[in-house]
Amino acid sequence: MAKPRVLVTRAWPAPVEAKMAEAFDVTLNRDDRPLGAAEMKAALTDYDAVLPTVTDRLPAELFDAPQLRAKILANYGVGFAHIDTDAAKSRGITVTNTPDVLSDCTADIAMTLMLMAARRAGEGERELRDGRWTGWRPTHLIGTKVSGATLGIIGFGRIGQAMAQRAHHGFGMRILVQNRSAVAPEVLARYGATQVASVEDMLPECDFVSLHCPGGAVNRHLINARRLEMMKPTAFLINTARGEVVDEAALAQALWFNTIGGAGLDVFEREPKIHPDLMGADNLVMLPHLGSATRQTREGMGFRVLQNLTEYFQGKTPQDKVA
């Protein structure tokens, strides 16, 4: 029997590409160029499986060809708001993602941003490399203490919980949680956490707010000017979730007018473009979407996609089916 035809939309870690090629008739993206809408649309009619990722866009209109060959979209990544899952489902296409394998590394990056922003590490490094450091002095680059502070976590799935684990057990932080559904008491107890009824209830209480909810239309601009105003003037906002969750123009205002203490961002509304008003803000740390960027995790994500594909083509329900 012919092997299923599979398109990998970006370059992947070499060990995963090699394993993938053993089991499937794989087309790789050697030059790692993002595919355009027309190419992606053609892929749905030419391949049995398309393996997209966060840089791809699969809106409803891509699924309107009369004949689609694609049977599964096995996404490389946990977030899948870039795929119109209703449109895929209506054409009988299964969608999977890669949870679990990236929770620790994404939480590590959220901690990195929180510590860097609070302790002014980015500013310090820039000063030192620019040759502007004049030596130790009691009032130099005074930051904010993280240990023992209050952290608000919005979205208490796997990554939110990995963040709580680090913050509570490693840094003795008090944890407040906002989540769309009720979190089981034993889960909250694991992190000494308290669930609050609304984002509004949480924001005025927090020294740090870390976002771990999904992106997409439902959470677009969840953090907007009104909610930024509810934060303490000394508080920090951390976003490792999706850029669209934060209104970047409103955040830039808050940073420039110091109505919040600072922010740490790993994700942006129009990646790889950065809102120009964020660029010069000194009380902001920015990273280029590095949440899952470790060798172990990126390989783990690839093998998880391979497992989902294998299960699908064996006639089973893939373990990470989301639609």
The residue among 11 and 184 lying less far from ligand DGY, judged by its C-beta, is 11
d(CA 88, CA 96): 11
> CA nearest 235: which of 263, 202, 265, 261?
261
Q: Is 271 a catalytic residue?
A: yes
Indicate if 289 belongs to the active site: yes
Question: Is the CB of 77 or the CB of 160 nearer to ligand DGY?
Answer: 77
Q: What residue has token string 């473009």?
A: 273
| 251 touches 237 (CB < 8 A) | yes
In the set 242, 244, 269, 304, the catalytic residue is 242
Rank residues 79 and 261 by Cβ distance to ligand DGY and give the closer one: 79
Least distance in Å: CB of 216 to ligand DGY? 11
CA-to-CA separations, 310 to 17, 21, 25, 247, 314, in angstroms, rounded: 14, 12, 13, 40, 6
**Nearest to ligand DGY of 261, 264 (CB atom):** 264
Among all chains, which residue has been given the structure tokens 């119109």?
A: 84
Strand spans (E) along the chain = 5-8, 25-27, 49-51, 72-74, 94-96, 150-154, 174-178, 193-195, 208-211, 236-239, 262-265, 284-286
Query: Least distance to ligand DGY from the beta carbon of 82, Å?
Result: 9
DSSP 264-319: EES--TBTTB--HHHHT-TTEEE-SS-TT-SHHHHHHHHHHHHHHHHHHHTTSPPT
**Contact assessment for residue 231 and residue 205, using Cβ atoms and an 8 Å cutoff:** no
Residues sharing a CB contact under 8 Å with residue 240, sequence separation 6 or more, in sequence order: 106, 109, 110, 113, 159, 210, 211, 212, 266, 267, 291
Report in angstroms the alpha-carbon separations of 271 from 94, 134, 227.
Answer: 27, 36, 23
Q: Which is nearer to ligand DGY, 99 or 261 (CB)?
A: 99
Marked catalytic residue, from 158, 212, 289, 304? 289
Q: Active-site residue 221, yes or no?
A: no
- Shortest CB 50 distance to ligand DGY, Å: 17
Sign of CA dihedral 242, 247, 249, 254: negative
User: 102 or 176: whose CB is closer to ligand DGY?
Assistant: 102
Minimum distance of ligand DGY from residue 19's CB (angstroms): 19
User: Contact residues for ligand DGY (CB under 6 A)?
Assistant: 54, 77-79, 102, 291-292
Kindly state the smallest distance separating residue 200's Cβ from ligand DGY, in Å.
Answer: 27
Q: How far is the CB of 78 from ligand DGY (least distance, A)?
A: 4
Catalytic positions? 242, 271, 289
